[in-house]
Amino acid sequence: MKITALETQASNAERVNVYVDGRFLLGASATVVLQMGLELEQELSPGQLEQLRSEEALQQAVERAYNFLSYRPRSREEVRRYLRRKETSPEIIEATLERLDRLDLVNDHAFASFWAESREQFNPRGARAIKNELRMKGVEREVVEEMISDEKDEELALRAGRKKAQSLLHNPAMDFVTFRTRLGSFLQRRGFGYEIVTRTVKALWKELKQEDGEED
Whole-model pTM?
Answer: 0.80
d(CA 146, CA 179): 35
Q: Are 130 and 119 contacting, i.e. CB atoms less than 8 angstroms apart?
A: yes
The helix/strand/coil state of 24 is strand
pLDDT at 78: 97
Q: How many CA atoms lie within 13 A of 47 on its CB side?
A: 0
At 38-86, the pLDDT tens digits run: 999 999 999 999 999 999 999 999 999 999 999 999 999 999 999 999 9
Q: Are 120 and 152 contacting, i.e. CB atoms less than 8 angstroms apart?
A: yes
Give percent of the chain above pLDDT 90.
91
d(CA 44, CA 10): 24
Find the Cα–Cα–Cα–Cα dihedral 131, 147, 69, 85, rounded to 10°: -40
Q: Average model confidence (pLDDT) for the chain?
A: 93
